[in-house]
Structure 1
Amino acid sequence: MELKWTLLVVLLLGLSLHTSGSSSCSIGYQESKSGCHDENECESNICGNNSKCINTVGSYYCNCNDGFRSTTTYNFTTIDGECIDINECIEKTVECSIGKVCVNSIGSHRCECPYGYRETRGDSECTDIDECKNQSGLCGLHADCQNHPGSYICKCHHGYSNYGNDQSKCIEITCEQFEAETQNTPEKLKSLRSLLMKSCETLRDPDGDRNLGEVLLENLFTSVDQLLSEGNLADSDTLSQFLGTVENSMHLIGPQLKEPVTRMETHNTYAEVAVRQGKTPPTGSVILSTDSAHFNTSWETAAGESYPGFAFAALVSYKDLNTSSDYFSGIGRISQEDESSERYYTKKGKVTYQLNSRVVTAVISNPETKQLTDPVTLVFKHVEERAESKVMNYSCVYWNETHGAWSGRGCVRAWSNNTHTECSCSHLSSFAVLMALYPIKDTFALVLITRVGLVLSLVCLLLCILTFRFCRSIQGTRNSIHLHLSVCLFIADLVFLCGISSTHNRGACAFVAGLLHFFFLAAFCWMLLEGVQLYRMVVLVFQTTLKHLYLYAVGYGAPLVIVIISAIAYPRGYGTEQHCWLSLEGDFIWSFFAPVCIIIILNSFCFIITVWKLAEKFSSLNPDLSKLRMIRGFTVTAVAQLCVLGGMWVFGCFLFQEEGTKFMLYLFTILNSLQGALIFFMHCILSKTVREEYYKLIGRVCSQKEKKYSEFSTNQSSNSQHPLRSDQTRRESKI
């Protein structure tokens, strides 16, 4: 038993000695049968790239290869640092022979001949490469190739230019587009054309002094600002000249710009121009933006098939072009080609248009832009945020210089919301977004109410005129006022019934609108005179007379003066495309509504004072009740009359609007149609004196009929009693 325990202890001691012997080798050493030996750490790639590992007894260190240096010390481990390339060309650690340049490479360098040179004489010297001789047609057919040390220059022939890009092919330059058009061209536009003509002629001359493109661009937009500020673009011909000049100017200036992207903003314009130059055509998309539009196309489209060594794209936005003249303040013109298409007509009538975006000019260097293979995209911001509806939608248009009007040919609307519209166009020019305004279709019921009501109104007004003219018992100043009021409304309703829709003849339509303007204003003026007359009857100790000269001066003179001044100030305001009434352009409608509002306010003031004084007189100790009650009746009818006619034109404000509600439209039509009947009822039927006159007239008519019937009966009886005598008398008459 003791022997077994002795052997176990010996084995455990031996195992312990063996274990303590393996841990006795230090780091960097390996144990072998004969003991501890050095470990070679460099057998693995422990130092990393661009370096070499050097083993030492019990350790190692890393050293960078030639052409590299350590980021820490000369000798390092992987923990200490790494090797990076030494740029011998920058640190000037090498010298190249004369004429060569140092070119760095990873871990090394080389000496090469610069661009435009080649090595000769055993690669020891560099000689110039004659590109003009080695590459035929380098400058094209319209230039002479001139070799220079390390490079070459294309010397353009007269009439051709490469816009300062000396190694680009030369293209033909024409300057006729900058000549003055007509005597009607504004002076500022003539001056701008003259400046551009000089710059263009300079480009045509190979030895001419050239202006910088940035200077020309600044001069262009300075002149454009002055033109828009002065508002000289009042007709289509001048506008065509202006837009054409800007477009041609960008073709002249764009290739001369040196920066890849040039932006310029002035008081009335905003422009962005992108330019690319090089021997190979640029690729990819180009996006230009202004404050009111985005222009998206590709460099392949901008460069075109015949790439001359440069390409550019430009977008110009005009901030105040929409309001610089009356030409843009209202309905925009559409070319005759578009008006003849179904797109611009509906069953509801002719469509009118109004600009709802700023006008922009889009230009690219490609000369072939009449039919682009890949359409360009323009996104416009609306001036007035407005969603499409049944009576309005958006159209993408461009300015057609041939017709001097907007046209939608070649432009398709991609999408639209209340703030923006995207257009896709297959050609380039000046673009905008138009609102297409559709007239409200008159329903059969509305037309029937209008015609029947107006006929009834005319009959009643005619009865009023006859009553006020021939009824002697009611003659007086107030009766004269009612007579002229009825005459004015009769003529106005007759003209309204016969001519409100005569839009096919511009002159006749303007005449109808002028007549309606005059007679409706005259009706309100006579109502004002009635209020003044009532005021005099109550307040000024029952004075009841006004001189006829004063009546005619206010009743007819004041409306005539207003109509004459309005016609002189804005003759185009009479007659629209939908109705023969006042135009909504430039707030011209207020030449009618402003006087009407003033008259209603003055009349209301007179009536308030009149009612107040009547109340005082009724409460006095000894009132003249008969006269007071008569004046009270006059006042009630006058106030009712003012409410009917004044209220009618409150609803009439909505009649000729683009989106007037049907409810307002029907109210105006009913009140306008029945105003004659209401006047006849208030001033004739409700008047006891007039009713008595009617009874007398009916009595006389009936008595005359009875008398004629009595005489006829008497003659018949006498003839039957004396037939022979009658026959004898006839025979005597024949003889």
Structure 2
Amino acid sequence: MELKWTLLVFLLLGLFLHISGSRGCSPGYKASKSGCDDEDECVDNICGNHSECINTNGSYYCNCKEGFRSTNTPNFTQSTGQCIDINECTENAECPMGMVCVNNIGSHSCECKHGYRESRGDSNCADIDECKHQSGLCGSHADCENHPGSYSCKCHHGYSNYGNNQSKCIEITCNQFEAETQNTPEKLKSLLSLLMKSCESLRDPDGGRHLGEALLENLFTSVDELLSEGNLADSDTLSQFLGAVENSMRLIGPQLKEPVTRMETHNTYAEVAVKHGETPPTGSVILRTDSAHFNTSWETAAGDSYPGFAFAALVSYKDLNTSSDYFSGIGKISQEDESRERSDTKKGKITYQLNSRVVTAIISNPETKQLTDPVTLIFKHVEERAESKVMNYSCVYWNETQGAWSGQGCVKAWSSNTHTACSCSHLSSFAVLMALYPIKDTFALVLITRVGLVLSLICLLLCILTFRFCRSIQGTRNSIHLHLSVCLFIADLVFLCGISSTHNRGACAFVAGLLHFFFLAAFCWMLLEGVQLYRMVVLVFQTTLKHLYMYAVGYGVPLIIVIISAVAYPQGYGTERHCWLSLEGDFIWSFFAPVCIIILLNSFCFIITVWKLAEKFSSLNPDLSKLRMIKGFTVTAVAQLCVLGGMWVFGCFLFQEEGTQVMLYLFTILNSLQGALIFFMHCILSKTVREEYYKLIGRVCSQKEKKYSEFSTNQSSNSQHPLRTDQSTRESKI
């Protein structure tokens, strides 16, 4: 046991002495059995690959190789740090005339400039004749001219390399800049003339040269003037315009010097990317304007026959589709596309509207009718609207041959309420077309409308007879009810008989005009009803309105509105589906705006009237049950609100996408039964009118009883007395 403890003590003592000895050596030394020995730092290649490590007692130093210097002592070759290359070309190296210095790792060399090579037997550089050593360098449509250190291609007449003198020459045709028709606008003729001159200068090898940027600016200045005048009113002119822009960008794009050129004017926004070089460029190219993104590749832009340059351009027209006149008669898709539309809309007219700005996408590749790799266009919607059952988006391009928007070769990749992405296998002018599908009139809706209108006409006829011949209720309010019933009766009758008379354009417009006038007149009389209620309840002592004022408001105001609307936009009366006001150009607001104003005014009068009536009834009947009072007021208020036109509020929701069917049924039911509501409100619920009805029924019944009594009496006397005959006439008498 003691032996074990003794060994353990000796081991600990040895370890302590070893540690004490190591700590006692100076830096650069290490402990050994004999004491402290020098440590060789060069074993770990501490100086790097470009220097020689030399060990010393307790230290070391790095001796930099020729062509290198130390990083921490730039003026010496010996240090303890790494060594870096010396760029002799920027310091003291000299090369013979005609040669350039090329730095290498640890050295330098003198080489001939590009286009030169070393002569045999000396260190001088001789020019390389590229035209002699590289056959077909300029192609078959140009003459190759050698220059010291370089060369140039001089194109034959009718060919051009667009100012890139070391590119192959391609044929230039300028006939596409000729005006196609005599009706071409002057501004468009001026633009075509400018482009023709630029094209002809390219065809002439000795002709002048124009900077691409200047041509681009002139192009868009002319486009601004053309679009500002709004001369693109037919498909032929639009085709010429879009074709001219596309051809001019093919002319201007190769002449641009900057890799990316952007230009924005009042009506246009353009971005052009250009690359020049001996080898075709690769990679993707993305162009952006304020309304669209264009994504393609340089391989697609260059094509199979690379002429020494490649470009891609995207042009957006800001105001081309802001006016409906630009697309009057041409904002449609071609017949073959229309035949592929949904089968549930065969009987309805589908309307189309552009919901993006028109853009033109161009690349230098002349073969763009069928691209191997489709390009992607992402459009920003002018109106933020998501697809639904009654609307969807289509990717279309302008087909110059057909003069119409066509969807051939373009597929919608995805769509949201703000953007639509299109994948197209060809290039042209593109846009996003919004197809609006009509809501089909179901049998149930037509049946509800017809039954409700017939019932309403019967009730309105009874109202007219009651208000006209019932003497006990004559007064200002009764006159208002009479004229309101007359206007609604005529409007409902015209609606029932003529709303579908679309086969005759003139008759349809006349029906729409009658409906516009009489419905507006009905609303004006509803306004007078609300004003009269307000005067009766709030202004107790002012319960009458002058008939002249009532006629001026009831018939004069709607007549003025209809006259102004007919003069301003006569095409707004009558549509292809119904003889009503057109939804184009916000023409519907000639009816809807006055209706909204009247509903708001009537709502104000209604709230004040109900409030005042509630105060009076509560003071007159303090013991009346609150439940009965609330029930009575609720029924009366709802009925009166319908009479004042409150149900037309549901018509506001018909322009919304969600809930259209529900609102359509509510609107149809309530408005087709408005006549029945008026009869119930002002005839059935009126005690005075009911008494008159009782008297009338009593008189009718008494007359029937009297006739029956006389008939029975005569029959009885005839049975008791024989028939007497007049001998002279031989006629029987009772």
Matches within 5 A, 1:390-405: 390-405=389-404
Distance in 1 separating the partners of 2:484 and 2:46: 114
Matches within 5 A, 1:649-688: 649-685=648-684, 686=686, 687-688=689-690
Is 1:459 equivalent to 2:461 in the alignment? no
Judging changes above 3 Å, is the alpha-carbon distance between structure 1 residues 324 and 201 closer, same or farther for their aligned structure 2 residues?
A: farther
Segment drifting more, 457-466 vs 607-616: 607-616
Distance in 1 separating the partners of 2:343 and 2:277: 46
Task: Show the counterpart of 1:376.
Answer: 375
Judging changes above 3 Å, is the alpha-carbon distance between structure 1 residues 656 and 93 closer, same or farther for their aligned structure 2 residues?
A: closer
Task: Show the counterpart of 2:22.
Answer: none
Distance in 1 separating the partners of 2:59 and 2:472: 141
Is 1:493 equivalent to 2:492 in the alignment? yes
Matches within 5 A, 1:382-531: 382-465=381-464, 482-501=481-500, 509-528=508-527
- Cα offset, 1:277, TM superposition: 1.0
Matches within 5 A, 1:47-86: 48-51=48-51, 64-71=64-71, 72=73, 76-77=77-78, 79-86=80-87
- Cα offset, 1:298, TM superposition: 0.9
- Cα offset, 1:329, TM superposition: 12
Is 1:153 equivalent to 2:152 in the alignment? yes
Aligned residues: 679
AA partner of residue 691 (structure 1): Y
2:693 to 683, 691, 694: 691
AA partner of residue 82 (structure 1): C
- Cα offset, 1:215, TM superposition: 1.9
Judging changes above 3 Å, is the alpha-carbon distance between structure 1 residues 47 and 568 closer, same or farther for their aligned structure 2 residues?
A: same
Task: Show the counterpart of 2:88.
Answer: 87
Matches within 5 A, 1:284-323: 284-323=283-322
Matches within 5 A, 1:157-306: 157-180=156-179, 187-228=186-227, 233=232, 236-306=235-305
Distance in 2 separating the partners of 1:334 and 1:467: 56
Segment drifting more, 316-325 vs 419-428: 316-325
Judging changes above 3 Å, is the alpha-carbon distance between structure 1 residues 656 and 617 closer, same or farther for their aligned structure 2 residues?
A: closer
Once the two structures are superposed, residues 561-615 of structure 1 have per-residue CA deviations (whole angstroms, 9 ceiling, x without a partner) of 3123213323443345665433344433221122234445666788899999999
- Cα offset, 1:306, TM superposition: 1.7
Distance in 2 separating the partners of 1:467 and 1:350: 44
- Cα offset, 1:313, TM superposition: 0.9
Distance in 1 separating the partners of 2:669 and 2:470: 30
Q: What is the DSSP-based 3-state SS (H/G/I as helix, E as strand, rest coil) of the residue aligned with 1:342?
A: coil
Q: What is the DSSP-based 3-state SS (H/G/I as helix, E as strand, rest coil) of the residue aligned with 1:396?
A: strand
AA partner of residue 570 (structure 1): Y
Judging changes above 3 Å, is the alpha-carbon distance between structure 1 residues 198 and 699 closer, same or farther for their aligned structure 2 residues?
A: farther
Contact 1:323 1:329 in 2 (8 A): no
AA partner of residue 205 (structure 2): P
AA partner of residue 281 (structure 1): P
Distance in 2 separating the partners of 1:190 and 1:558: 49
Distance in 2 separating the partners of 1:600 and 1:683: 20
Once the two structures are superposed, residues 440-487 of structure 1 have per-residue CA deviations (whole angstroms, 9 ceiling, x without a partner) of 444443332212111111233334445566778878877665554333
AA partner of residue 87 (structure 1): E
Q: What is the DSSP-based 3-state SS (H/G/I as helix, E as strand, rest coil) of the residue aligned with 1:115?
A: coil
Judging changes above 3 Å, is the alpha-carbon distance between structure 1 residues 289 and 27 closer, same or farther for their aligned structure 2 residues?
A: closer
Contact 2:70 2:81 in 1 (8 A): no
Contact 2:445 2:665 in 1 (8 A): yes
AA partner of residue 79 (structure 1): T
AA partner of residue 562 (structure 1): I
Q: What is the DSSP-based 3-state SS (H/G/I as helix, E as strand, rest coil) of the residue aligned with 1:323?
A: coil
Task: Show the counterpart of 1:623.
Answer: none
- Cα offset, 1:392, TM superposition: 3.5
Judging changes above 3 Å, is the alpha-carbon distance between structure 1 residues 704 and 81 closer, same or farther for their aligned structure 2 residues?
A: same
Distance in 2 separating the partners of 1:347 and 1:484: 42
AA partner of residue 375 (structure 1): P
Q: What is the DSSP-based 3-state SS (H/G/I as helix, E as strand, rest coil) of the residue aligned with 2:146?
A: strand
TM-score norm. by structure 1 comes to 0.77
Contact 2:70 2:78 in 1 (8 A): no
Segment drifting more, 201-210 vs 302-311: 201-210
Judging changes above 3 Å, is the alpha-carbon distance between structure 1 residues 85 and 558 closer, same or farther for their aligned structure 2 residues?
A: same
TM-score norm. by structure 2 comes to 0.77
Distance in 1 separating the partners of 2:56 and 2:657: 97
Contact 1:531 1:638 in 2 (8 A): no
AA partner of residue 335 (structure 1): S
Distance in 2 separating the partners of 1:724 and 1:63: 169
Task: Show the counterpart of 1:361.
Answer: 360
Contact 2:410 2:424 in 1 (8 A): yes
Distance in 1 separating the partners of 2:285 and 2:252: 18
Contact 1:457 1:676 in 2 (8 A): yes
Distance in 1 separating the partners of 2:440 and 2:238: 34
Judging changes above 3 Å, is the alpha-carbon distance between structure 1 residues 606 and 118 closer, same or farther for their aligned structure 2 residues?
A: closer
AA partner of residue 700 (structure 2): I
Distance in 2 separating the partners of 1:649 and 1:349: 25
Distance in 1 separating the partners of 2:418 and 2:394: 14
- Cα offset, 1:553, TM superposition: 5.3
Matches within 5 A, 1:550-589: 554-576=553-575, 579-589=578-588
- Cα offset, 1:153, TM superposition: 1.9
AA partner of residue 199 (structure 1): S
Judging changes above 3 Å, is the alpha-carbon distance between structure 1 residues 505 and 413 closer, same or farther for their aligned structure 2 residues?
A: farther
AA partner of residue 246 (structure 1): V
Segment drifting more, 99-108 vs 256-265: 99-108
AA partner of residue 397 (structure 2): Y
Distance in 2 separating the partners of 1:358 and 1:170: 36
Distance in 2 separating the partners of 1:110 and 1:201: 49
Judging changes above 3 Å, is the alpha-carbon distance between structure 1 residues 151 and 598 closer, same or farther for their aligned structure 2 residues?
A: same
Q: What is the DSSP-based 3-state SS (H/G/I as helix, E as strand, rest coil) of the residue aligned with 1:221?
A: helix
Distance in 2 separating the partners of 1:276 and 1:42: 53
Distance in 2 separating the partners of 1:613 and 1:413: 60
Task: Show the counterpart of 2:11.
Answer: none
Once the two structures are superposed, residues 152-197 of structure 1 have per-residue CA deviations (whole angstroms, 9 ceiling, x without a partner) of 2222233322111111122222333334455665554444333333
Once the two structures are superposed, residues 56-103 of structure 1 have per-residue CA deviations (whole angstroms, 9 ceiling, x without a partner) of 999987655554455536764572441514434x4452332x444444
Q: What is the DSSP-based 3-state SS (H/G/I as helix, E as strand, rest coil) of the residue aligned with 2:301?
A: helix
Judging changes above 3 Å, is the alpha-carbon distance between structure 1 residues 157 and 465 closer, same or farther for their aligned structure 2 residues?
A: farther
Segment drifting more, 177-186 vs 131-140: 177-186
Distance in 1 separating the partners of 2:226 and 2:450: 51
Distance in 1 separating the partners of 2:39 and 2:593: 109
Judging changes above 3 Å, is the alpha-carbon distance between structure 1 residues 656 and 487 closer, same or farther for their aligned structure 2 residues?
A: farther
Matches within 5 A, 1:17-36: none
AA partner of residue 395 (structure 1): S
Contact 1:380 1:421 in 2 (8 A): yes
Judging changes above 3 Å, is the alpha-carbon distance between structure 1 residues 131 and 343 closer, same or farther for their aligned structure 2 residues?
A: farther
AA partner of residue 83 (structure 2): E
Segment drifting more, 666-675 vs 383-392: 383-392
Judging changes above 3 Å, is the alpha-carbon distance between structure 1 residues 303 and 479 closer, same or farther for their aligned structure 2 residues?
A: same
Task: Show the counterpart of 2:12.
Answer: none
AA partner of residue 95 (structure 1): C
Contact 2:512 2:574 in 1 (8 A): yes
Task: Show the counterpart of 1:131.
Answer: 130
Contact 2:68 2:83 in 1 (8 A): no
In structure 1, runs of 5+ residues without a counterpart are 1-25, 32-37, 619-635, 731-735
